[in-house]
Structure 1
């Protein structure tokens, strides 16, 4: 019956209406089990279909009246023991991006997981420093208390001995373990770096092994704030949305392409005071070839079931050089997304020079050609086709609308204001105009990809 409302964007629209109305979010399945004493064991399946409202789905059931009137599809498990969403068996012969002997990349990572975003991530570098210093002071105060108490304190009963006021501190597993060990923290200004918090949304991040729940291999791929690297980021196995890929210079928050995986161009070998940068893939052409293939609509559709269950595998295609070329051009476009000129025909009206944004919006839900930037600025003539460029289930344009608004976290009370990110008052307006162009140019470049033909 579909109805999974934990998805976003196009995938959410495909899932259609909530089966049980307000409050229901899960996919609903009707299972009919028949016990007839025979040795005939079969599984029959029917998918209600895409883009149907709740009423559409219920009307279909009413019209069918009986299971005998439904067009069932008999299904058998494949070699992977998949009953539905079966995978292409030949696909398994292609080299994977990582984790096997014939992998294309040496290592992969999951990106940054903080479990306390409001404290360690912010559009303002000054506010990140202030918030982190406050939390470290509060944490160290709690450790001082613990040192005077019984040694029988562990993670399970820690909350009985420390403050649980989330306006002072945000606890998670790594921080609790450090507190039980009576391990104190010191603030380090050199731990602030620029990260990609969400697609096309940069924020300042305080990266530290205890204050971030998981940093995994990030120090190996991006050891210092001024490190130089490139990352092909993908939505990993288990994603509820259609497959996505986005290249960045910055470390990506795992939730940006949830559940995110990244494949760095380089690895840093740290020895003493020196960081030696070595290849994590054979060469640049292979790197951009991967990026080109991952953007192929045919690839994404043909191997959609595989991409939801495991790391991508990359076939050797005819016209490989063209995939390398388009991959490079896509990478250049996505890496320099802030610097694109306004798309021809898109214009904006300014009643007064006020570029401060609170929350952008469309005049109406389906009026996509217009965005009200603020009370003084309206952007017009946005091509509706631009919304077809989707990253992690949401059009790139909608990521800008969603992320670039003033928000106050209810638990911590911390405000995150995108107007504080840049000294350029027009930064957010120009960013929105640039991402419209990025969306259109991405679609054009994808259309330039040659025919998807696997070399036998």
Structure 2
């Protein structure tokens, strides 16, 4: 019994009161497979099951007396009955939802994912063995691999091809179980080609694995049977896809940045594209010859929702489906799922009983399409139909490109073996545009996958213009390295809409809370934005108009999705679009101050002038890439870690040169267990050169984090990047002091600390170190008259503070000012709250610039404060 005066979801939260209900239902489920299947289908079907009844009284009550729900003599009683009826409808929905939560069993799916990972591993080993041992299998596989390389990407490896075969073997019966009405497996061109290859291998299946998978397939069949709508089946497919990939192929998930796009965002994008097409071009998304491409279709959500949206009238649906809608996918399983989702959605919307394959989907690498000339043939004997589809798409005049591009920036270390593919022509285009227009020093992020997606799409749109709309990593909106990207968007497009969904979880504390929930959940920690670009043939060189909307602070993921649903499309008048006017730096938001430019830069290694506070020998903090080995709070544990790390390196080096020294690709033959070592390019190079490592006595103390010291094994062989640190701290006997500040592009507020020991790159975020002194090895001949010899005669000490700033300071404050006074003045000034607050945007995007204050007394106050802070 649920009290009528309590909200349904709150009442059912009383676990103790309703515990017996869930216990009884779980007992029934354990003994009745049909009831189990019914419960697990509740959330998938529009029509609720007739076998489960949620009852209510036929009469309502007022003041303890029954009141009929009809009759003119008691109007008030009728109203009460109607209200109870409405409350009951809500209660019924909540009970069904809670039943799935309390009684439905998702754990089996999780367990299946783990089983699949193990079975996939065994299948991969078995296929590799067959290819190696059987000449017949080897020859067939070589043709198969060439076909994949022609259709997808020339860099497809044998291992990746074998993984695809494993995916196909495991998932083929899933689709047959889900779609019994028509055989996707027998009609899809890629599936047909895969099956031909696998027909050679099926006789070698392991009985135990087959038995395990058969149980799972039966589970899918039970859950999928009698589902009354396309969306329900799609939810099952996506659930399987999500669990399968994260467990069975985690490196592929990381390399390709695989995340599932919430339908709220997909619908917003589809509706926005249709609105802009009408507004800017006088066309509709359903018009003839308006070709649409989802270049990174994943599980096909964008095309599926488009077919279900009602934006394409039924009279146009067949034409759009057969000729004008295109989709690409590089991952085999995702391609299969996208194809069946799209085909199922079409049959549902069109009402066709006859199976019609979706010929617009290609198994291919979208970026690779721009690498081949029209004269180069995609045709392959192994995948003939897919090749024809690719060629057809390449000729299509694309007016709409929309989707969710991959987010990956490549592998974190060589151990991951998840490096992104290189695209020469696309990279050249990025260099000619985004990179050339950027003033940033570090521009690697301009080659991130999602930036490549913008460049490829901008070049691929039809000459008569069109619309691009992506939901992507939103770091570009305010990123330092993306200034050139932003400038190019202004130049290449007539209108730009940016809906910033925030969610940057690379921040911390209050800043992280303000960013709010992550739109993609655990799939991404980056900020997210919806970007819509309008490209019209320009009559003038006028820059594009930029419309910007920030979703707001402290919003949960659910609140953000609710706002997106409410807005529905970019043309909604309730969206408060702000028109942006970029400054000369290419800042769109959080713009830098023009006053900041008038100050003196703290340091600039590329400067042609000498107007800087420090000489150009400042440095980033030490970057080891293997902190777990070279840092430790215990000197004894540090020694043990270094000993095991060096032993493992030497063991791998010896093994490589004994067996495979002629193979150029060294990393393939190394043990990439992250628990033993982190392989970087320097270590791999030394393996190739057969350089033996020996444990040394290079131990010192380092500032690992603010106010947290650790022992450091300071050997350049095991330190990935030392930068200029050896010039600041040449050895333990030489003393120095350095000001450490947050580096450019930090996600955290500007900060500064001072230290007399070696700082780590992560002491602060992207730490930059400005020294009181730097040291150079003394030349044995021709010593300078001005060399300041340290106690250690091997090195010459030089001043970190420039002569330029000393001369200027002495002119204003008097000759008694020393470089040390200026050093502490800088440190004191960097802590001034007003300075940090006023120039917060500048300090995030560039190295500090400081003024020399007008009054001598103020200079000495800051210098004194700096000394006191240092102490």
TM-score range, shorter chain: 0.5 to 0.7
Structure 2 partner of 1:406? none
| 1:159 aligns to 2:667 (yes or no) | yes
Deviation, structure 1 residue 121: 0.8
Say which of 622, 629, 642 aligns to 1:132.
642
Deviation, structure 1 residue 300: 2.0
Distance (whole Å) between structure 2 residues aligned to residue 166 and residue 48 of structure 1 = 39
Q: Secondary structure at the match of 2:679?
A: coil
Q: Secondary structure at the match of 1:46?
A: strand
Say which of 604, 612, 618 aligns to 1:108.
618
Structure 1 partner of 2:545? 42
Check 1:162–1:68 CA distance in 2 against 1; reply closer, same or farther (3 A cut).
same
Partner deviation per Cα, 1:103-137 (whole Å, 9 max, x = no partner):
21112111111111111110011211222122222
Say which of 750, 770, 773 aligns to 1:263.
770
Structure 2 partner of 1:16? 516
| 1:196 aligns to 2:703 (yes or no) | yes
Where does structure 2 lack aligned partners over 5 or more consecutive residues? 1-500, 781-792, 807-818
Structure 2 partner of 1:209? 716
Conserved in 2, the CA contact under 8 Å of 1:208 and 1:215? no
Structure 1 partner of 2:846? 310
| 1:145 aligns to 2:655 (yes or no) | yes
The TM-score with structure 2 as length reference comes to 0.36
Q: Secondary structure at the match of 1:224?
A: coil
Partner deviation per Cα, 1:138-197 (whole Å, 9 max, x = no partner):
22233233343455344xx213333334444332121111111111122211x1110011
Structure 1 partner of 2:828? 292
Conserved in 1, the CA contact under 8 Å of 2:667 and 2:684? no
Check 1:187–1:82 CA distance in 2 against 1; reply closer, same or farther (3 A cut).
same
Structure 2 partner of 1:220? 727
Conserved in 1, the CA contact under 8 Å of 2:704 and 2:710? yes
Structure 1 partner of 2:527? 27
Deviation, structure 1 residue 233: 0.8
Structure 2 partner of 1:410? none
Partner deviation per Cα, 1:71-121 (whole Å, 9 max, x = no partner):
332212211122222211232232211123212111211111111111111
Check 1:326–1:166 CA distance in 2 against 1; reply closer, same or farther (3 A cut).
same
Say which of 581, 593, 597 aligns to 1:92.
597
Structure 2 partner of 1:235? 742
Conserved in 1, the CA contact under 8 Å of 2:622 and 2:722? yes
Say which of 693, 696, 711 aligns to 1:185.
693
Distance (whole Å) between structure 1 residues aligned to residue 861 and residue 756 of structure 2 = 23
Distance (whole Å) between structure 1 residues aligned to residue 640 and residue 584 of structure 2 = 55
| 1:324 aligns to 2:833 (yes or no) | no
Distance (whole Å) between structure 1 residues aligned to residue 562 and residue 659 of structure 2 = 64
Structure 1 partner of 2:760? 253
Task: Please identify, of 220-229 and 45-54, the stretch whose mean Cα deviation from structure 2 is larger.
Answer: 45-54
Distance (whole Å) between structure 2 residues aligned to residue 50 and residue 229 of structure 1 = 43
Conserved in 1, the CA contact under 8 Å of 2:547 and 2:580? yes
Deviation, structure 1 residue 59: 5.0
Distance (whole Å) between structure 2 residues aligned to residue 9 and residue 45 of structure 1 = 26
Q: Secondary structure at the match of 2:723?
A: coil
Q: Secondary structure at the match of 2:682?
A: helix
Check 1:50–1:288 CA distance in 2 against 1; reply closer, same or farther (3 A cut).
farther
Distance (whole Å) between structure 2 residues aligned to residue 211 and residue 147 of structure 1 = 21
Q: Secondary structure at the match of 1:68?
A: coil
Structure 1 partner of 2:795? 275
Deviation, structure 1 residue 56: 4.4
Check 1:43–1:284 CA distance in 2 against 1; reply closer, same or farther (3 A cut).
same
Q: Secondary structure at the match of 2:726?
A: helix
Say which of 68, 72, 82 aligns to 2:587.
82
Check 1:152–1:95 CA distance in 2 against 1; reply closer, same or farther (3 A cut).
farther
Distance (whole Å) between structure 2 residues aligned to residue 262 and residue 299 of structure 1 = 20
Number of residue pairs matched by the alignment: 329
Deviation, structure 1 residue 36: 7.7
Deviation, structure 1 residue 30: 2.7
Partner deviation per Cα, 1:335-389 (whole Å, 9 max, x = no partner):
xxxxxxxxxxxxxxxxxxxxxxxxxxxxxxxxxxxxxxxxxxxxxxxxxxxxxxx
Larger relative contact order (CA 8 Å, sep ≥ 6):
1
Conserved in 1, the CA contact under 8 Å of 2:624 and 2:719? yes
Conserved in 2, the CA contact under 8 Å of 1:14 and 1:50? yes
Conserved in 2, the CA contact under 8 Å of 1:229 and 1:266? yes
Distance (whole Å) between structure 2 residues aligned to residue 62 and residue 161 of structure 1 = 51
Q: How does 1:360-399 map to 2 (within 5 A)?
A: none
Partner deviation per Cα, 1:429-450 (whole Å, 9 max, x = no partner):
xxxxxxxxxxxxxxxxxxxxxx
Task: Please identify, of 42-51 and 245-254, the stretch whose mean Cα deviation from structure 2 is larger.
Answer: 42-51
Where does structure 1 lack aligned partners over 5 or more consecutive residues? 333-456
Distance (whole Å) between structure 1 residues aligned to residue 676 and residue 520 of structure 2 = 39
Q: Secondary structure at the match of 1:322?
A: helix
Distance (whole Å) between structure 2 residues aligned to residue 19 and residue 160 of structure 1 = 37
Q: Secondary structure at the match of 2:502?
A: coil
Deviation, structure 1 residue 280: 0.7
The TM-score with structure 1 as length reference comes to 0.66
Check 1:165–1:229 CA distance in 2 against 1; reply closer, same or farther (3 A cut).
same
Q: How does 1:304-453 map to 2 (within 5 A)?
A: 304-318=840-854, 319-332=858-871
Deviation, structure 1 residue 275: 2.5
